Amino acid sequence: MFRPVKLRQHLAWMVAKGYSPSDVLADSGTTEEQLLNPSCLIDLRQYKTIVGNILNLTGDHGIGLEFGEMTELRDCGMLGHLVMSAQTTRQATRYWIDYSHELLGEPFSIKLVENGTEDWALEFSELIPLGRILNFCVEEQFMMIYKLSGRISSAPPKLKRVELSYSAPPHGDLYEKYFKAPVKFNAAKTRITILTHRLDLPLLDNDQEFHEICQRQCELMFRKIHQVDSMASKIKHVLMRFKGGVPGMEEVARELNVSARTLRRHLIEEG
């Protein structure tokens, strides 16, 4: 479960393009009112549905690049403020790795890879299979990192290469235009390698007092999310998405991407 900070921005942009909230959120099990509630949490299956709706409605499968380019740090909620007030590139990167799923809604596990003094990289792994929305998610994430890292330092990063685990989409020629680096499709891993910006270089707006406030708030939000993220809570969330019937144990287990046996075990452990 995570806070749908990014999806709220997606919805606002789609409404600005003339699409109705009900069409953007169709079959996701959530409404505009629920999504805009500060306490709202959603899961990755809902995220997949909403992004799939965006792709279907616009017919633009390169819209992830557009959304990523439009994103500002203020659009990233408290995490954006934390990253902006970080002391170094390393610290800002660590916060993004630790919090971007729960506090922003990114569908990836991210790993920092240090390759010595020449460059460093971020590797991205899907938290669940993203299927046809994978390139949207990667494009938006890479575009955000490329743009926002330039906002918190003296200049945009210089990329060494961009590696993508999927085949080149029809708009694949735009990648080198946006990222200004060699792009490899059908790579073993999805990874962005950065030449410049030493990880321990001080950032522009490293306000220590403000940073400590943001850090405490992000950690509090992170813990609250995990407190309510019990298996029983996840099941309740699944049941809310079903209309006109109660799903069986096997069906609920499939929705949660676990076996029925694992589901029963968790419920017994939670009492």
Q: pLDDT grade, residue 184 (50/70/90)?
A: very high
Residue 194 pairs with which residues in a beta bridge? 120, 159
Q: pLDDT grade, residue 217 (50/70/90)?
A: very high
Average pLDDT over residues 250-260: 80
* Residue given tokens 């494009």 in the structure block: 139
Q: What is the distance between the alpha carbons of residues 164 and 151, in angstroms, rounded to a whole number?
A: 25
Query: 151 versus 90: which is more confidently predicted?
Result: 90
Query: 99 versus 236: which is more confidently predicted?
Result: 99
**What's the chain's average pLDDT?**
88
pLDDT of res. 5: 95
Query: 63 versus 253: which is more confidently predicted?
Result: 63
Q: What is the distance between the alpha carbons of residues 261 and 259, in angstroms, rounded to a whole number?
A: 5
Average pLDDT over residues 81-106: 93
pLDDT of res. 197: 60
Residue 247 has pLDDT above 90, yes or no: no
Tokens of 199: 């990880």
Q: What is the distance between the alpha carbons of residues 56 and 62, in angstroms, rounded to a whole number?
A: 12
Q: Work out the burial of residue 129: count CB atoms within 10 Å of its CB; fewer than 13 is exposed, 13-18 middle, 19 or more buried.
A: exposed
Q: What percent of the chain has pLDDT over 90?
A: 62
Q: What is the distance between the alpha carbons of residues 106 and 137, in angstroms, rounded to a whole number?
A: 8
Residue 219 has pLDDT above 80, yes or no: yes
pLDDT of res. 241: 63
pLDDT in tens, 47-59: 999 999 999 999 9
Q: pLDDT grade, residue 146 (50/70/90)?
A: confident
Q: What is the distance between the alpha carbons of residues 12 and 70, in angstroms, rounded to a whole number?
A: 12
Is 89 within 8 Å of 162 (Cβ atoms)?
no
Average pLDDT over residues 111-126: 89
Q: What percent of the chain has pLDDT over 70?
A: 91
pLDDT of res. 152: 82
pLDDT in tens, 224-234: 888 765 666 66
Query: 258 versus 47: which is more confidently predicted?
Result: 47
pLDDT of res. 271: 54
Phi, psi at residue 95, to the nearest 5°?
-65, -40
